[in-house]
Chain A
Amino acid sequence: MKNPPATGQSISRIEGPLKVTGAAKYSGEYNVPGLLYGYVVNSTITKGKIIKIYTEEIKALPGVIDVFSHENRPSTAWFDMKYADMDAPPGSPFRPLHDAEIRYNGQPIALIVAETFELARYAASIISVDYEKEIFDTDLRSHFGDGREPETGMASLLKPPPPEPTGYFETAYAAAKYKASGEFYHGTEHHNPMELFTTTTLYEGKGKLSIYDKTQGTVNCQLYVANVFGLRFKDVKVISPFVGGAFGSGLRPQYQLFLSVMAALELKRHVRVTLDRSQMFTFGHRPPTLQRTRFAADADGMVTALNHTAFAETSRFEDYTEVVVNWSPKLYPAAHTLLDYKLVPLDVFSPMDMRAPGGSTGMHAIESTLDELAYQLKMDPLDLRLKNYTMIDITVNLPYSSKELKECYLKGAEKFGWANRAPEPRSMKRGHKLVGYGMATGIWDAMQAPARAEAAMTRDGKLHVKSAVTDIGTGTFTVMTQIAADELGLPVADVIFSYGDSKLPFAPIQGGSMTTSTVGTAIRAAGKALRKKLLRVAKRMKDSPLGKAELEEVIFQNGYIILKDNPQAAVSFADIINDGHHGLPLKTTNTGVPNMAKLNKYSRAAHSAVFVEVEVDEELGVINVTRALTAVAAGKIINPKTSRSQILGSMVWGISKALREETILDNQLGKYMNQNLGEYHIPVHADIHDLDVMFIEENDEHINELGIKGLGEIGLVGVAPAITNAIFHATGKRLNQLPVHFDMLL
């Protein structure tokens, strides 16, 4: 009667019925009597000063409650530190309505609060503002070569600067017979989750707030609000059980949170502030980045020299950085390496993490250059990668904790039919269309942070587990329920997981593919502590059949503690609570921390191999990704069903990155020109064809007790270069600018 472990099973999302019936409530969907609506007014200039905001005629409109700007906003915290959130880069965080200075186009400059949404929006559309304009610069491409070193800070812990040079790159490169190089550019991208950023702040009296916010970190927003507005932590509750996508955009508190809370506190009313779609382009984005690569190999295909330089955009007020150039020697251990990463501060808002930040940028350049090197060597691109395969990360001189990338290459290639690829470009056709096969590698750090979790057994024999973590669509709710179920040997139906609320035990922001390892480890710690407590109480019960059994001598299964040696000797969890604990829940709260002493002996990463087929119609300039396969090695897969969706979603993101999405900046105006979903192109259903996902078994005994590496980013990293490599194979054209536009083929 032993039930199989819940982890490893393809369980449908537990919240599925709520999402398909419309019952799942997102942050803008908590309607209360007397709710006021805030609408943001944004700067129409890029740099300069506000001279005057004409608020009087707006305030005179019947139904307008107030207009907030830098002139009349309440005073908030004085020091930068108070505005820093868990994802803040070094610098001075942006403060909404702080002063008259305009730092970027679209900066929020006022909030209109009215009795109806329509009135607030209308008032925002007619408000007049006088500005004094200043000269600005938003053009990254005019700065190739003149970036500066980034400031370092707390963020550098997770985003290390490039490793020091090794060997003699210039000499080695000059002497090498086989070389490939490239210059790469990708434009700005905006996260554009389907849900608009919204905060509904309920004013609960006496300075207490209940805040429904769209975020990837309930505790992060709680700390931010308490610090900025000088409130007590326990008076600020941030609730976010359903998040309509985020992809990094919710890692930092966005300005609608500040504005909603400010208005609620000032007016002592409930206030909702919702950004419109164009305003979704007025905070963080993936920074446009220029890159240059020069790789060399010997005649056998061993990579000998690697040079990778990047120039990335940041704002004037924060040094947002990404890990763009560190990856190539981790995969291809060359003796001579020269890696450099520079920032170019411009008059834009600070960039921010967007799915696979840095990795998807850098690996595009690396994997494209490696592909070119394979053609120079007249070697199969897959063989070149196998030739340079390493189990040691030379950048830190440590072995990988596990690395089944070779199996990804081999099994992926076999299933995809890579062997059917004719080596020459332009050699494969289907009808009048050119066909190309391309492949690329993906790599992403496997990270873990500390977190806490509560586990409680109640008199009905159910396990209640709690964490402040969010579920941004990643399947966290379901996966955590599965992990908790296995801790007590219960079926999933007997586990109730509570999440998405800052009053629950601490969880860090949900990002970087580290949520499952982070919160899962905390749940495991709480589960272990609860097992001990249950056994201790069970042994104290009158005539306990468990006698003096130690933890190792019993099993927890199907709601019972059972003696291993005598399965007849068993006590149910319900009886333990009812008879041994007066019916009161048995609770424990524990911390899960990464075992750094162990982890520091290894380099830790998830890997993928991506294989893509494209069809190119040269006459029409149409590129279609007809099929793609991603083979992933990311440790233990807790739920293959939701995990597959994570990877499929990333593959769609890769297609989008390669062929569709870009925010176009007009450098004359300093303004993004396509701030809507009609002109910011993402793939539609008709663009997506045959996508396949393989999970390669990977047992990692070092990474964490659960053997988990995380999946949020790894699926994206290798997709765009696999597509551009396939386009090269189809057409003979090496297109290094993303997204690839049709006209580049003509």
Chain B
Amino acid sequence: MNSELDLKPAAVFTSKTRQITLNINGISRGLEVLPYVTLLDALREYLDLTGTKKGCDHGQCGACTVICDDKRILSCLSLAVAKDGAEITTIEGVSTGNDLHPLQQAFIDHDAFQCGYCTPGQICSAIGMLSEGKAKTRADVKELMSGNLCRCGANMSIIDAIMEVKDGGGHE
């Protein structure tokens, strides 16, 4: 909403676009963006990769989680220009064709979503969380997944799905 920033419009909006390259889901994508375009908006609005979701744009809900250089990050709090050259995996790149990632299949099996809007972020976050290797117990998983909100209240099923993959050792 409108704040009371004392910025001169011209000063901000004459910034020059920058040429950047993002390696997204194994494909190198060249992009010309203004410096204040977030990675989330670059994905959704400039590259038509709409699987990554915008739920708050403030780093409070986790819906925009992607994997960047092997770490889970909030793409709404990342500027696209700051990720020049980075390796990014979005939900579209988690699996190929009909071969779902074990977490994707586990989410379906456990009915770990209803509306599905937080789901890409939950799955990317879970992939990142499991590869971090810090979670030992169910309580750890719940704690380390708590940055990803779910308003449908699928919380228990989400953790069930992740635990199945974690205990089954199904993740890379």
Contact = CB atoms under 8 A, between A and B. Distances in A.
Which of B52, B111, B116, B157 has its CB near the most chain A CB atoms (within 10 A)? B116
Given A12-B111, A194-B117, A645-B114, A277 B13 contact: no
Given A17-B100, A276-B1, A682-B149, 7 more contacts: A19-B113, A20-B91, A116-B45, A117-B45, A124-B2, A194-B150, A691-B156
Contacts of A648: 153-154, 156-157
Interface in B101-119: 104-105, 107-109, 111, 113-119
Contacts of A644: 111
Nearest to B91: A22
A651 B115 CA distance: 16
Contacts of A682: 149, 151
Contacts of A124: 1-2
Interface stretch (A55-63, A173-181, A499-507, A538-546): A55-63
Nearest 7 pairs of A and B residues by beta carbon? A22-B51, A652-B153, A244-B117, A473-B115, A19-B116, A649-B153, A473-B114
A17 B97 CA distance: 11
A106 B2 CA distance: 10
11 contacts: A20-B104, A21-B94, A22-B91, A26-B53, A44-B2, A60-B9, A122-B9, A194-B55, A244-B116, A245-B115, A277-B55
A554 B146 CA distance: 56
Interface in A638-655: 641-642, 644-646, 648-653
Interface residues of B, number: 70
B12 A276 contact: no
A549 interface: no
A670 B95 CA distance: 49
Contact of B57 (A62, A276, A472, A642): A276
A41 B4 CA distance: 12
Contact of B115 (A28, A61, A472): A472
Contact of A475 (B45, B54, B114): B114
Interface of B: 1-3, 5, 7, 9-10, 12-13, 34, 36-37, 41, 44-45, 48-58, 60-61, 63, 90-92, 94-95, 98, 100, 104-105, 107-109, 111, 113-120, 123, 139, 141-143, 145-159
Given A194-B149, A645-B114, A677-B61, A106 B156 contact: no
B44 A24 contact: no
A645 B50 contact: no
Interface in A3-22: 12-13, 15-22
Contacts of B10: 61
A21 B91 contact: yes
Nearest to B159: A685
Nearest to B117: A244
Contacts of B107: 16, 20
Contacts of A20: 91, 100, 104-105, 107-108, 113, 116, 119-120, 123
Contacts of A653: 153
Contacts of B55: 194-196, 277, 677
A125 interface: yes
